[in-house]
Amino acid sequence: MRIGLNESVQKELEKKRYGIYNHSGVEICEWNRKALRGEGDCYKAKFYNAHTSRCMQFSPAVAHCNQNCLFCWRPNEVMCPSLKGVVDDPKEIVENLIEARKKQLMGFGGNSAVPEERFIESLEPDHFAISLSGEPTLYPKIIGLIEFLCKRARSVFLVTNGTRPDILGQLRPHNNFQIYISCNAPNEEIYKEICRPAKGTSWEDFLGGLDAMREFLGRTVLRMTFIRGLNDRSELIPEYQKLIERSGADFIEVKSFMSLGYARKRLEYGKMLYFDEIREIAEKLLEGINYRYEDEHKPSRIVLLKRKDSNKDNFIA
C-alpha cells in the first residue's frame, strides 16, 4: 500500500491551498501570483534568473521532516520524522502535481491583470523548486527525481536542511541544478533550540551535509535565516564564518525570518529583522572570508553574497 497522508493533515494542507498527491504536494506562492499580475518577481529571479510565473514549488515529502524548526511557515508540528513504505515514482509525482498546479492557476485565466500569453505559459512550469514543505531528501527516490527534472526543466533547485549527507553525496552536478542547504544556527546548542531535530538527527549530520556540499561540483547555496534575539548576535559571527568556509558554497543568502503561515504561532512579528539589519549582518560576515556583496532583494529582506573565486555564473540560463 502506498504512503498517503493522515486525513486531518491532508485537510489542513488543502485548507491552505496545497494540491496533494499521496505523500507529495504543490502550492502557488504569493510571488507566483504577483508575477502573473505583473507586480514583481521573487528574489530567485533577480539572483539566478529563475522564472517566477513558471515556478513549481513542490515537495515529495510534504508532511515528513526530521526537524521541527521554529521559523518554518509549514505545519511541522504534525509532520512525521521519516518517510517509509511504498512511495510514488518521480514521473508520477511530477505529472500529477503539474495537473494539481494547473487547477490552482485556473482562476488567473479570467483575471484582466494577467496577460493571456503569460497565463498559458505559466501552466507549463520550467523552474522546479523542490522545497515547499517537509524534508525532500527523506523521499527515497530523490536522486531519480532530480535526474528526471534536470532533463526536462530550465532550472531545478533542491532545498534541504543538510542532515542527509549520505544522500547529498550521491547527487550529480547539472548546469541547471542548484543545491541549497539551510544554515540556521552557528553551533549545536542553538541548532537544537531553533531547528529542534527529531530523534536520530544531529548537529554532526548537518556538518556532514556541509562537507558534502563542499565536495559537490555543481552550483551551491547556503541559506542563512536570522531571527531577532535567537541567532543574530554579533558574537556568533565567527562561528557562522567557519560554517560558510566549511561549506565552500558558491552563494550565501542572508535573510530574515518572515512572519508567515504557521511561524506566526511560534514567533511574534517582532522577531523579523529589518532589511538594514540583514545588510549589516551580511557585511559583518564578509569580514575575513573570501566572499563579496553581490545583490539584494529588499521586499524579501535578503542579501546575496558570492565566493570570490567561484566559477559559477549568477544566472542559470
In a domain, 154, yes or no: yes
Tell me, what's the pLDDT at 1?
Answer: 59
Tell me, what's the pLDDT at 246?
Answer: 98
In a domain, 101, yes or no: yes
Tell me, what's the pLDDT at 9?
Answer: 77
Q: Which domain holds residue 264?
A: 7-307
Closest CA to 13 of 289, 261, 222: 261
172: CATH: 3.20.20.70
113 φ, ψ (degrees, to nearest 5): -80, -5
In a domain, 138, yes or no: yes
How many domains does the chain fold into? Answer: 1
In a domain, 232, yes or no: yes
Note the pTM of the prediction, 2 decimals: 0.94
Tell me, what's the pLDDT at 234?
Answer: 95
Instruction: List the chain residues with pLDDT less than 50.
Output: none
In a domain, 316, yes or no: no
Cα–Cα distances in angstroms (integers) from residue 277 to residues 153, 222, 250, in the given order: 36, 19, 23
> CA 158 to CA 131: how far, in whole Å?
6
Tell me, what's the pLDDT at 76?
Answer: 72
In a domain, 290, yes or no: yes
Is 180 in contact with 158 (CB distance < 8 Å)? yes
> CA 291 to CA 308: how far, in whole Å?
5
In a domain, 312, yes or no: no
- For the chain, the straight-line distance linking the first and the last C-alpha, in angstroms and rounded, comes to 41
296-314 pLDDT per residue, tens:
999 999 999 999 999 999 9
Tell me, what's the pLDDT at 11?
Answer: 82
Cα angle vertex 155, ends 33, 98, to 5°?
Answer: 55
251-264 pLDDT per residue, tens:
999 999 887 777 77
In a domain, 315, yes or no: no
Tell me, what's the pLDDT at 16?
Answer: 78
